[in-house]
Amino acid sequence: MKGSKLFRHLAAALILAALSACKDAPPVIRDVQFKAVFDYGGPGQKPTVQALLFVQPDTDVTLTDRIQLRELATGYVWTIEDPAVLEKSGKAWAGGVRLARPGGAFRNGEYLVRYIDTAERESELVVTLAYPAELPGLTADGAAKIADTGYTASVALYDGEENLMYFDKKRDRWTEDAAILADYPNAVFSRECLSGPGYSADIMLPLKTLEGRQ
């Protein structure tokens, strides 16, 4: 009996120790969304280039304190101090958009992503940014041709105040603007967005006024 009692106490202590270890274990990065975003203001203009970075941890995403991105070739660091939290398809992400690189576009190459939670526990992952090298120097027409292969097209619809009304894949029946207006009668502008695979690029083509709204 005495031995049985000691065993129960020992087992309980081991379980508590295991639970404590799990609680104090550092977070693990499950997935990363990191892309250069090429934003075209007009048909003949070259793009403004920024980046988006979102991290999916294996812990409670609301415990995210900050996220850092380091360009390994130069040592330059970006820090997202107050990450936004997004949820999609049952997954939660923390991160930010509009990261800007001094001197121009984000370079192709390796970047270190560092995730830090509110307990100062951290996790790291190296990702590689790779998009067509000529893209930063192209106008919208050239960018659209590059994106013909391997990029997924979505459409954004806005009202007259440029408030976003819809963002998703273009519906099959939207072969002309009249069909779009039948579904979204308050829409005034549209914008095509081309999303590249992996850690590559998103291309945002210029805003267009829908036919019948000029």
What is the value of pTM for the model shown? 0.80
Residue 67's identity, in one-letter code, is I
- CA–CA distances in Å: residue 149 to residues 22, 67, 110, 121, 144: 45, 32, 24, 41, 10
The per-residue pLDDT for range 51-60, each reduced to its tens digit, is 999 999 999 9
The pLDDT value recorded for residue 145 is 86
- Note the pLDDT of residue 146: 82
Fold of the domain built from segment(s) 53-129: Immunoglobulin-like (2.60.40)
| Structure tokens, 53 | 């970075």
Res. 104 pLDDT band, cuts 50 70 90: confident
pLDDT at 64 over 50: yes
pLDDT recorded at residue 113: 97
Collect all residues with Cβ–Cβ distance below 8 Å to 106 and sequence separation of at least 6: 36, 49, 50, 51, 71, 99, 129
Assign 11 a pLDDT band (cuts: 50, 70, 90): low
Region 3-25: mean pLDDT is: 51
Q: What is the average per-residue pLDDT within 158-166?
A: 93
- What DSSP string runs through 2-52? HHHHHHHHHHHHHHHHHHHHHHHSPP-EEEEEEEEEEE-SSTTSPPEEEEE
Looking at residue 63, the DSSP 8-state letter turns out to be G
- pLDDT confidence of residue 14: 52
The residue-averaged pLDDT of 153-159 equals: 93
pLDDT tens digits for range 38-47: 999 988 899 9
**Beta strand spans in the chain (E):** 29-39, 48-57, 64-71, 77-80, 84-88, 91-100, 109-117, 122-129, 152-158, 164-168, 189-195, 201-204, 208-209
| Mean pLDDT confidence for 108-119 | 96
pLDDT tens digit string along 72-91?
A: 999 999 999 999 999 877 88
pLDDT computed for residue 24 by the predictor? 63
Tell me where in the chain the CATH 2.60.40 domain(s) lie: 53-129
